[in-house]
Structure 1
Amino acid sequence: MTVTRTFHLPAGTAADGPYALDIGPERAGWTHSSLRVLDLPPGGAHTLAAGDSEWIVLPLAGACTVACGSLTFELHGRADVFSGVSDFAYVPRDAEARIASERGGRFALTGARCERRLPFRYGPASGVPVELRGAGNCSRQVNNFGAADVFDCDRLIAVEVLTPGGNWSSYPPHKHDEHRPGEESELEEIYYFEIAAAHGAQGVGYQRVTPSGPGRTTDVLAEVRSGDTVVIPDGWHGPSIAAPGHTLYYLNVMAGPGEERAWLIRDHPEHAWLRETWAGQPVDPRLPLYAAPPAPSAPTAPSGAA
């Protein structure tokens, strides 16, 4: 596969085989982070060979089962990313998993090259912390399903961000492209976008990335639409801007070479002051768009292999 240094990948331009989107280290020109988007028709199935990466199977729209070894987990999923938190399944490296959907759907496979082989596990929607970050027109919602301090992975970090129309997120601009112990992590990042339609119109958003120093070449000013992706090997990233009337969703996938799995960022020094203004502003009353569901009275148990 040819290495690309095209940072904005419009929907369909990074499709490969069964995947509507397939970005791995070879395509992105880096070492760890991957994202695939799998569209399954009703009754469809797909086998994921994990290889040297760990993966989280996350329903974007629809439900599925994920079978690995002798266990099968049922993912209840959701109607779409704007309607609720989803449950998910963790697939370890050197494993093979079968993803099947009775009614069809769209599923994100977030991945990272790793060393440890952890167990195949189920992540309930009720266990996903829903965080409100920022204030005023910088308010956004973060679904921390695969955050470093929430769910155990070897390298992978993944979260969802929802930004109401007219707001800015990923702001102030920040970076994580250097290893600074206790201050900054070195993490490659993928942004996958979906944008809510309104009044029959498809929405747009905007993504900015600027170089963070000598030798850094990531420079993006992109109008993004549903299904678009931006890859960020380095640089100050932000803002992510939601057009008025259209909620902006993005899935963040991160991984890097550091021994510690942590999301440590450094704000752009010219814009870091903005955080100090949030204390005097309310969070956008449109948030949260939704909360995680309550925990079930009995835990979801795996069944035997399908």
Structure 2
Amino acid sequence: MSSEIRVRPAAQPAADGAFITVTPASAGWSYVGFEALTLRPGQVAERDSDGRECCIVVIAGHVHIRSRDGEWRDVGGRPDPFSGTPDAVYLPPGGRFAVEGAGDGAEVGLCFAPAPNGGVPARRIAAADVPATTRGYDRHERTVHDVLMVSDAAESLLVTEVITPSGNWSSYPPHKHDRDALPDECLLEETYYHRVTPADGFGIQRVYSDDRTLDETVAFSDRELVLVPRGYHAVAAPPGVALYYLNVMAGPVRTWAFQDDPALAWTRADGATTDLPIPKEHRS
């Protein structure tokens, strides 16, 4: 069994508020970078885009954002990630940008991916324009906020949020996207930045491959990051605990084509619940 799945705990915040930082080099892959920051009012974090596009997701609170492509003030507004859809700003590569804590401060996710063709024009992604949709059924029902998915303009980045109620599963049925084999499947690296309520709770994430050379189950706590380089993956919220995660995905082609675990693909069927008879071939 390999040890590929890494849980990055929150560190003591740096001078600019960063408490989790992942680069392609530190992750051992090629595309996805991610940072989580907490910013006090007036505290500023500056970054060089370095050929990367960036989606700045305001997880909670308010920020002001400045770049060569424009300035956006009072971005954000929700008090916590469980309360509605997020405000975000998309920035193409080129020069430095700054994120400043406003109001009572903020928690922010910086989502990075390569943009060798220059990305697309900068824009604010207003919370009112981020759809909140229900996905799944019964104990794998969850709410999805598509911040920057395939129908939204970008060069490489895919960004979404998921709220998983107490006792439910998400990223379910377990699915994978680790082969560059379109149209059936695409290669996408992925990070999961988790928030947990209550904050002293925990969540569970399993990642595994068909041949089980990768088969790991990890527990994560509030403000921890799980890196998923390959394999089927799913997330579970224990009773009494609700989960939020911010997903960042990127790969050689900007699309979202995945394969379900064949043993559990039947659970994706509309209305499939634990009250329905288990298919004959899956009975013990």
Q: Does 1:267 align with 2:247?
A: no
- String of CA shifts for 1:177-204, please: whole Å, max 9, x gaps: 002222111000001100111xxx6211
**Aligned-pair CA distance for 1:157:** 0.3
- String of CA shifts for 1:198-252, please: whole Å, max 9, x gaps: xxx6211100001244xx85432111111111111111111x0001122111111
Flag as ranges the 4+ runs of structure 1 deviating above 6 A.
none
Match of 1:104, SS? strand
Cα separation, 1, equivalents of 2:159 and 2:81: 15
CA contact (8 A) 1:218 1:233 kept: no
Distance 1:280 1:37, change over 3 A: closer
CA contact (8 A) 1:212 1:234 kept: no
CA contact (8 A) 1:210 1:219 kept: yes
- String of CA shifts for 1:1-54, please: whole Å, max 9, x gaps: xxx9552222329x7764200011011100000110111112111112111211
Distance 1:208 1:112, change over 3 A: same
Aligned length: 268
Show structure 1 runs of 5+ residues with no match. 283-306
Pick from 271, 276, 281: which aligns with 1:279? 271
* Alignment-derived partner of residue 247 in structure 1: 242
**Aligned-pair CA distance for 1:112:** 0.6
Distance 1:16 1:177, change over 3 A: farther
Cα RMSD of the aligned pairs, angstroms, is 2.0
Cα separation, 2, equivalents of 1:220 and 1:252: 19
The one-letter amino acid of 2:7's match is H
* Alignment-derived partner of residue 39 in structure 2: 40
* Alignment-derived partner of residue 236 in structure 1: 232
CA contact (8 A) 1:5 1:29 kept: no
Cα separation, 2, equivalents of 1:17 and 1:126: 32
Alignment of 1:163-182 (within 5 A): 163-182=164-183
Match of 2:108, SS? strand
Cα separation, 1, equivalents of 2:110 and 2:215: 26
**Aligned-pair CA distance for 1:116:** 2.2
* Alignment-derived partner of residue 77 in structure 1: 77
Cα separation, 1, equivalents of 2:213 and 2:64: 41
**Aligned-pair CA distance for 1:163:** 0.5
Match of 2:173, SS? coil
* Alignment-derived partner of residue 183 in structure 1: 184
Q: Which has the higher strand share?
A: 2
Cα separation, 1, equivalents of 2:4 and 2:177: 19
CA contact (8 A) 1:191 1:229 kept: yes
Cα separation, 1, equivalents of 2:5 and 2:184: 29
CA contact (8 A) 2:167 2:238 kept: yes
Match of 1:56, SS? strand
Pick from 204, 207, 210: which aligns with 2:205? 207
CA contact (8 A) 1:39 1:104 kept: yes
Distance 1:16 1:233, change over 3 A: farther
Cα separation, 1, equivalents of 2:5 and 2:165: 28
- String of CA shifts for 1:247-290, please: whole Å, max 9, x gaps: 111111100012xx1111100111111112x42559xxxxxxxx
Identity %: 34
Q: TM-score, normalised by structure 2?
A: 0.88
The farther-off stretch of 23-32 and 116-125 is: 116-125
* Alignment-derived partner of residue 294 in structure 1: none
Q: Does 1:110 align with 2:111?
A: yes
Alignment of 1:99-178 (within 5 A): 99-102=99-102, 103-117=104-118, 118-149=120-151, 151-178=152-179
Cα separation, 1, equivalents of 2:61 and 2:46: 18
Cα separation, 2, equivalents of 1:10 and 1:123: 28
The one-letter amino acid of 2:229's match is P
Alignment of 1:213-228 (within 5 A): 213=211, 218-228=214-224
Distance 1:209 1:51, change over 3 A: same
